[in-house]
Amino acid sequence: MSGPIVVINPNSSESVTEGLREALAGFQFPSGPLIECLTIVEGPPGVVTQRDVDEAALNTAKIIEARPDAGAFVLACYSQPGLDLARSLTSVPVYGIQDAGVLAALARADLFGVIAVAEASIPRHLRNLRRLGVDNRLAGEVALQGNINVADSGHGEESFAALLEAGVKLRALGAGAVVLGCAGMSGHRARLEAELGVAVIDPTQAAVAMAFGHLVTGTP
């Protein structure tokens, strides 16, 4: 059996990491690769600003250097802190969840939308979409409104209401698939999809599905 899929939460919230474990439980079975979710306890409480991204990148690199046993890595933060750095440090695949979530959305719909945690994150996300060459298929990106705790955005009725409001706006803009722009939103994915009537993509699930496929089939 190959090494584990190591899913790295670059922020310090163990509740977010526990949410990742719950979201990824369906991938665990005896003959498959182990999926291990880690919290970087010295990381920022949420990765929102560019400073947070840069700090998280260095913390993530330390984890990758310390885990030569891994079969693949998943950076479970929508800003993908240190993705290029991580790929320079290991020969195994490293998946960023924004890339994976967007590619999964494009496989489901002509136009996609993104729900961001904060307005400040959107320009950074758009830069990466231009790098991928898919910004022309973005219906829009909408930030959550209200005082939503970044580390708690996947729990509670207040956060669900904010996600639903953003999702309705994206659907009106023509999005046939909606990508959750934060790993911590995973707890609301299924309910949000049922309410909106369009595909809702948990990008961490999408990234792990890619890593899982690579390890199980041996394909790139």
pLDDT of residue 113: 98
**Tens of pLDDT, residues 2-41:** 899 999 999 888 888 998 999 999 888 888 889 999 998 8
Hey, what are 67's tokens? 């885990």
Scanning 67-188, the segments in alpha helix (DSSP H) are 83-89, 97-106, 122-132, 157-172
Q: Locate the DSSP E strands across the chain.
A: 5-9, 35-39, 72-75, 94-96, 112-116, 138-143, 177-181, 199-201
At 155, is the pLDDT very low, low, confident or very high (cuts 50, 70, 90)? low
Position with higher pLDDT, 155 vs 216 = 216
d(CA 79, CA 56): 10
Here the CATH number for the domain that contains residue 10 is 3.40.50.12500
Here the CATH number for the domain that contains residue 162 is 3.40.50.1860
Are 91 and 119 in a shared domain? no
> What is the per-residue burial (b if ≥16 Cβ within 10 Å, else e) of 190-213?
eebbeebebbbbbbbbbbbbbbbe
Are 21 and 46 in a shared domain? yes
d(CA 48, CA 120): 7
What percent of the chain clears pLDDT 70, i.e. is strictly above it? Answer: 94
Are 82 and 165 in a shared domain? no
Are 131 and 193 in a shared domain? yes
**Tens of pLDDT, residues 102-114:** 999 999 999 999 9
Number of structural domains found in the chain:
2
| pLDDT above 90: residue 127 | yes
Position with higher pLDDT, 52 vs 204 = 204
Position with higher pLDDT, 147 vs 127 = 127
Q: Are the CB atoms for 39 and 59 separated by under 8 Å?
A: no
Are 121 and 156 in a shared domain? yes
What is the extent of the structural domain holding 110?
Answer: 98-203
CA 151 to chain centroid: 13
Are 166 and 76 in a shared domain? no
Are 110 and 151 in a shared domain? yes
Are 196 and 106 in a shared domain? yes
∠ CA 85-184-132, rounded to 5°: 45
Are 168 and 212 in a shared domain? no
Are 199 and 102 in a shared domain? yes
User: Mean pLDDT across the stretch 62-82?
Assistant: 95
Are 192 and 208 in a shared domain? no
Position with higher pLDDT, 41 vs 101 = 101
d(CA 127, CA 70): 29
Are 109 and 179 in a shared domain? yes
